[in-house]
Structure 1
Amino acid sequence: MTSPVDTDESAPLLPNGSGTVPASAHRTFTDVLKGRGEPTWSSSLRFYLLSSWVNVLLIFVPLSAAAHFAQWDAGIRFALSFIAIVPLAKLLGEATDQLSIQLGQTLGGLLNASFGNAVEIIVAVDALMQGQLRIVQTSLLGSILSNLLLVLGMSFFAHQFSGKLEGTFGATAAQTSTSLMTLSCLTLVIPAAYHAAEYNGEAKFSSGLRFLEAEPDAPDPHDGSLHGLLIISRGTAILLLLTYLAYLWFQFRTHKTLFEEVKTQEGQEERAKMSMVSAGTCLIAVTIITSFCADFLVASIEETAEKYHIPKPFIGVVLLPLVSNAAEHVTSVWMAMKNKMELVIAISIGSSIQIATFVIPLLVIIGWAVGQPLSLFFADFETIILFVSVLLVNLLIQDGKSNYMEGLMLMVLYVVIALAFWVS
């Protein structure tokens, strides 16, 4: 017969009187790599690599590297790198989503702020380090326009296939987000207005796109307004970063009830299909691979544009965002077809806010640190386009409803803008 002492030593009592050792008391190294109840590494990787047919395009990743180092034709190098980034963008989005599901609302929001636009950041940082400041500006502007007009427009249009004539979403939360977008848009108007006021007309360009065409990769160091533009841009960048942090606090802490419907829908719809460690590891690995593909892509842009007579602004504003936002395009349209319009607003407008108030200011600060004179001064043409785009989106979502006609209007404006950049 087992003595009471033996029983106490072999099965220590829990506070509730149970003689069973809790599972969490003996966590092995394997448990650390894969939390209890989480998917295994094999199932996580199987889901990550086989969940979408788009991953077939991963074959273009080594092909783009081979083309780059073998110095193939610029057009071929550009095309291979362009296609290679498509599945990488999808994988980045998938890993981010899986981590967000497990980390909860606040940490998930911070994670999306950091990695949700990873491709845009990687391409822009790589172009910044190479001194191609116009590619930085046009690619980020294109990301904003793509999300605000194309993604949102396609989602509004696709919503009709959900079986409902109108989509509904929280007007207050959406209006707060677009108001922040309006603020970031106005911060681009101020440098343009300052340049117009200070420029004395004696430089080798006149204004707008002629200025950008004459100096495609950097502001003119002989322009008397450059010093003031950099001071305005860097100061504004710091303020925008602080404003973005305040917006995160507003969204996830003080006024989170305004956004609760989005989180509730996400929680009901999704369960993690990857363990946290495997998702984090995949996120880091794919980010590193994407950085190399982005380097190959940026290195081929200038030669491709010159050889095939493709306007560099068109590449930056239209082509690059289509690749980097591929995952967001698919997700937003799919959610619209499921009548989850709150998620559509969070994806399209939320991503635009991240670019405008986090990524662009961050790159201005990085440029300041590495000696690249990146500023918030965009061409007059680009500033006007962004302003009217934000204005149209504000007008369409202020009633908290959407329909296919509003989506059609957004898409038409995007196509008109693409045509304008094609002939610029």
Structure 2
Amino acid sequence: MRYLNLLLLVIPVSIFLHLLNYSPVLLFLSACLSIIPLSGYMGKATEEIAIYVGPRAGGLLNATFGNAAELIITFFALKAGLVEVVKASITGSIIGNLLLVLGLSMLIGGFKFKSQKFNRAAAGMHTSMLLLAVTGLIIPAVFLHTHANPAAEPLSLGVAGILIIVYILSLIFSLHTHKDVFRPSQESSDSPKWSKLKTMTILLIATLFVVIESEFLVEGIDPVVNTLGISELFIGVIVIPIIGNAAEHSTSILMALKNKMDISLEIAIGSSTQIALFVAPLLVFVGYIIGQPLDLLFTSYELIVIIMGTVSTAVISLDGRSNWLEGAQLLGAYLIMALAFIFV
């Protein structure tokens, strides 16, 4: 975090560039760099809250506010009419959390500990929920290709509503009716370093600046595409998820280094579950409200990488243990998928 703090100096630079309307490309780059430490502070603040409320609810909060940065970015992108960028970022977030974040956590944690344990029941529930979400994403795409005049908007709204309901039910299941089943195998002994007031203040300030920088970032997407020749698909799948998920990267890896793989998995897999079952459906409804319809008709390749990412994570988490090689395997899968998106 100490080195990331240097990137906070980029915030006034981005504001200066915006006020002068100097260079949209530099504005895009400065906004990306600014969001990284801000997202990190959001992650640190939610980590402190996690200590106050406990590891299970804390893991949920980490995933929620880690995704808040990306939700804010995608909202401004949707408002600007960049629908394909938004859908690509949903894909990138799911595979990024499953393969990149979890892969790095298992790899780096595995270098310190020969084998790390985690709750198989929790991992199994998240992967089964992801498979349900994949079903919800596949059905509209199949419907599109098998009907001449598909009712994409009402179908997407219906699927989105069902996914949100199931997500809420999963929270009730894991946090209330079956919370004993999902008790972490490693109990946390950490004490909070920040007061509750300081934690909430930092969280609110970081969120405010993420809102500002997200608008700057979206302003620069078209100029970056036209100037640098980078596709909107690549920005959506790779750039936005990495920037928006910086909190998950740092917190998940930190938990793995502390041999707390339960929390690490809750952040990584839980975040992907939330993106698929809550954030994506929420954006469908938001798009409908603001007059920028967002359907769930993903491309075949996007669906394939989501399916493969989910299956790969499910297979690796079956035994309730992880090691550095499994982390390397997940990272390898992510790099292969990212390489393919470069040439799409």
Find 2:102's aligned residue among 124, 143, 152. Answer: 152
Write out per-residue CA displacement over residues 226-255 of structure 1, whole angstroms, 9 at most, x where no aligned residue: xx1111111111111111111111111111
Written as runs of structure 1 = structure 2, the 5 A alignment for 1:51-200 is 52-104=2-54, 108=58, 111-112=61-62, 114-164=64-114, 166-199=115-148
Aligned twin of 1:297: 217
Which residue identity lines up with residue 134 of structure 2 in the other structure?
C
Aligned twin of 1:265: 187
How far residue 151 of structure 1 moved from its aligned partner, in angstroms, is: 1.0
Query: 1:344 and 1:110, CA in 2 relative to 1: closer, same or farther beyond 3 A?
Result: closer
- Give the percent of matched residue pairs that are identical in Structure 1 and Structure 2: 38
CA RMSD of aligned residues (A): 1.8
Written as runs of structure 1 = structure 2, the 5 A alignment for 1:247-326 is 247-261=170-184, 265-266=187-188, 268=189, 270-326=190-246
How far residue 145 of structure 1 moved from its aligned partner, in angstroms, is: 0.9
CA distance in 2, matches of 1:420, 1:388: 14
Which residue identity lines up with residue 336 of structure 1 in the other structure?
A
Aligned twin of 1:346: 266
SS of residue in 2 equivalent to 1:242? helix
Matched, 1:389 2:309: yes
User: When the two structures are superposed, what TM-score results if normalisation uses the length of structure 2?
Assistant: 0.94
Query: 1:113 and 1:151, CA in 2 relative to 1: closer, same or farther beyond 3 A?
Result: closer
Task: Decide whether the 8 Å contact of 2:24 with 2:219 is kept in 1.
Answer: no
Give every structure 1 segment of 4 or more consecutive aligned residues whose post-TM-superposition deviation is greater than 3 Å: 103-114
Write out per-residue CA displacement over residues 126-181 of structure 1, whole angstroms, 9 at most, x where no aligned residue: 111111111111112111111100111112222332231x2222212211111001
CA distance in 2, matches of 1:385, 1:177: 17
Aligned twin of 2:163: 240
CA distance in 2, matches of 1:358, 1:336: 26
Which residue identity lines up with residue 331 of structure 1 in the other structure?
T
CA distance in 1, matches of 2:11, 2:247: 17
CA distance in 2, matches of 1:406, 1:115: 27
Aligned twin of 2:318: 398
CA distance in 2, matches of 1:113, 1:347: 5
CA distance in 2, matches of 1:272, 1:418: 37
Task: Decide whether the 8 Å contact of 2:133 with 2:163 is kept in 1.
Answer: yes
Report the structure number with the largest CA radius of gyration: 1
CA distance in 2, matches of 1:376, 1:338: 38
Runs of at least 5 residues in structure 1 that lack an aligned partner in the other structure:
1-50, 200-223
Runs of at least 5 residues in structure 2 that lack an aligned partner in the other structure:
none
Task: Decide whether the 8 Å contact of 2:137 with 2:303 is kept in 1.
Answer: yes
How far residue 374 of structure 1 moved from its aligned partner, in angstroms, is: 0.3
Find 2:283's aligned residue among 363, 367, 370. Answer: 363
